[in-house]
Structure 1
């Protein structure tokens, strides 16, 4: 048990500190393939008058935002990755040339994305036919698995372009159960939960009446840990109210019962208020704010579906609430901008996630396939085929951290306890050397090797300072 922190069940010895892992990490193998192929594609784009206009816009975007933000980047030695000049002899981190089949599929996928971006749907369909027949989501190669899911999402995009916007029905029970599996096999969700809980715990210090608003509560996996530490405070547990938001009242009621039963076993006063709609679509009165309560808002962002509605309405509500703390966990992936912006950003992001899962789970592992098929593919499909400004009619904010700062919120530094929690969590997941954790600019960033994937931050209203 850390001082003022959460108890974490450690299945492995702590070993070296997380900061030292970055020094031992190699470059992300699959992400390097993507970078190489993207640059090669830009160089090979035709120079006709029409295509040059496309190329100028695409090249500037792809080259300026080629990969998500680096986190504690430690480059490999030159003899490990080649001379870095974009030559075909570039070596990946394992010291071998990229697989020809993987390179071919990635190149074809990128060419298909360019065709889709200029509405050349006939050519895109031709390439998608080859991709869907060649790439398998069950392949041993991470590259082929990524291409298989991206090709499937691109096919949905092409179909939607022909028949109009098509938002598929969401099986929330399936998403939530798969989310729980992801929580068990990877540190990313636990990282989001425990760092956010630590910030909320510190904001609730000496508060005897507290209210937590979870913008997409799902199964409420993170809250029992917070309840446990609140119930054991020296000054006694506070009265806790929670507003859980989601799309299914049935699932919200079930989650509320589970949390209520857990709080009852701890001897803690607890109220649960389900709100089956998106945060950006509600009236402030629906949140039943009470005077004298310390208010926390938690938002674990994801791309499974649009959980909050229009961003500008979400921001306006947050300003009206003036919460004591907002805990925000963002994916380092762009949802705004052009189709190619989202395509390249998501390709780098998800290739890294697939690499992290493939590093210690075999290709036929059922949990890995469930996460890739039920969660990661759903996110990819939502970003490429369903979401985006052109389809929703609403501009999506690129980075909420900068928007909160611009709209009257003050960043709270993530504490050393939050860093310690994250370090302990990473030790539960092999291979330890692959995950990288960095504390900087008041945030905590968790990634795989040299690529940042999730960033946790905490904020408070300027009105409370």
Structure 2
């Protein structure tokens, strides 16, 4: 019990930086709670001038989107799913095919039904109907894309980009603006027949650190995983951590601190950090090595500029017999960090790790385009709601996160992701696949729950963050929408 208390307290102390992370595109310290300006924490009043949704509804944007999409789906006539809702892999090769009149009904009829719903929830003023109209038009555009009517979809995208701004005080309008941009990219990619997105990893890493400072989601992923790894490394003298997408390594100083001060003495720590840029990996390794040196801890860092699923020779990971092996994976939708899912799974089985820590976004990358559209619209509406409750619409940190991270994720899910675009079938829920492929779940402990709860305590309860423990996992969400799920796994015979 004492050890568990020290873990929680020690990790929270590490929220204050021991060292500056000085990438040129990164601003601010490692992880801070002191940077949070309490004067800006005022619930939904930060966007009280929001024109498109009812301010008195506690979970208004994500609930609004859920109800609107449900209404639109119910309003669509029955049709042959093979003809109307083709998956990315099955779309016709001839572009510009028309949508049937039954599939895309006239907007006046559809909006009449939307207006009836808006009166029921007391949003029925002109501005409220404009917000509902945006979602209705966005959904119509998604339907047109799903049946490959790219000409009509392009016309609707142009209309959406004129109506919605990513700088608007309304969270709903910002969501529509970014989704419209992503679908514009999807249309262009479909016309060209391929998609090769450019990824500025320095820009992403800097924005990711800002996201870490203004929201509990990244901290939740880091600290709950650290706790599970710490418990797996108990009384082990030599340990090895493989991070499948290490980025800046913001997660690991807190774990190093606890390992360096444990009663049985610090272990020898080896870390394999994976990523796309060798330059950034070397910089991350330098920062972590300097931190470990200050703690007096024996540490080795091994960079691998390759996707985990693309590794064909296990010697690249420098696995040593006798080391307690932990594999960590914080999933995100920014880019494909691991490559083909089935190859990644096979490699995990070959490595036979003592512990796998997995933090997943509760959003599917598989299935048809329309499936991904509806799921991601509900998911990111909740994300935008959570940011809007904490930061005013003109806040530069909020805009940086929305533009450099969330927009990129939406674009990847809609414009890039999916079996038809990547060439690979993606697992819908990775933790389910782990269970089906011989891995055993390790229930997240009470200390992990305490870690997560202490992190949430940094954000006033009025913000609406929710934390639940379900089937051995920990789930963090906004109001009633689960957004991130942390789980831990082991093999039948762990090293």
Whether these two folds match at TM > 0.5 is: yes
Instruction: State the TM-score, normalizing by the size of structure 1.
Output: 0.87
> Aligned-pair distance for 1:152?
0.2
Q: Deviations over 1:189-209 (max 9, x none)?
A: 000000000000000000000
Are residue 2 (structure 1) and residue 5 (structure 2) matched?
Answer: yes
Structure with the bigger RCO (C-alpha within 8 Å, sep 6+) is 1
Q: Deviations over 1:274-319 (max 9, x none)?
A: 0001000012111111011000000000000000000000000000
Count of aligned pairs: 423
Are residue 184 (structure 1) and residue 213 (structure 2) matched?
Answer: yes
Give ranges in structure 1 of 5+ residues lacking alignment. Answer: 13-24, 58-85
Which residue, out of 218, 231, 243, partners 1:214? 243
SS class of match (1:207): coil
CA distance in 1 between partners of 2:226 and 2:142 (Å): 40
Q: Deviations over 1:344-377 (max 9, x none)?
A: 1110000000000001200000000000000000
Which residue, out of 366, 369, 373, partners 2:399? 369
Partner of 1:42: 73
Decide whether aligned partners of structure 1 residues 393 and 235 sit closer, same or farther in structure 2, where only a CA change above 3 A counts.
same
CA distance in 2 between partners of 1:349 and 1:267 (Å): 43
Q: Deviations over 1:165-214 (max 9, x none)?
A: 12221110000000000000000000000000000000000000000000
CA distance in 2 between partners of 1:127 and 1:452 (Å): 31
Partner of 2:51: none
Mapping for residues 22-101 of structure 1, pairs under 5 Å: 28-45=59-76, 54=84, 87-91=117-121, 99-101=128-130
CA distance in 1 between partners of 2:200 and 2:77 (Å): 43
Mapping for residues 260-299 of structure 1, pairs under 5 Å: 260-282=289-311, 283-299=313-329
Partner of 1:66: none
SS class of match (1:464): coil
Residues 426, 432 of structure 1: 8 Å contact kept: no
CA distance in 1 between partners of 2:238 and 2:316 (Å): 19
Instruction: State the TM-score, normalizing by the size of structure 2.
Output: 0.82
Residues 45, 55 of structure 1: 8 Å contact kept: no
CA distance in 2 between partners of 1:165 and 1:2 (Å): 52
Partner of 2:416: 386
CA distance in 2 between partners of 1:55 and 1:251 (Å): 42
> Aligned-pair distance for 1:39?
2.4
Partner of 1:336: 366
Residues 207, 404 of structure 2: 8 Å contact kept: yes
Partner of 2:348: 318
Partner of 1:65: none
Are residue 115 (structure 1) and residue 140 (structure 2) matched?
Answer: no
> Aligned-pair distance for 1:95?
12
> Aligned-pair distance for 1:42?
2.3
SS class of match (2:61): helix
CA distance in 2 between partners of 1:116 and 1:97 (Å): 29
Residues 386, 463 of structure 2: 8 Å contact kept: no
Give ranges in structure 2 of 5+ residues lacking alignment. Answer: 16-32, 35-55, 88-115
Are residue 246 (structure 1) and residue 249 (structure 2) matched?
Answer: no
> Aligned-pair distance for 1:463?
1.8
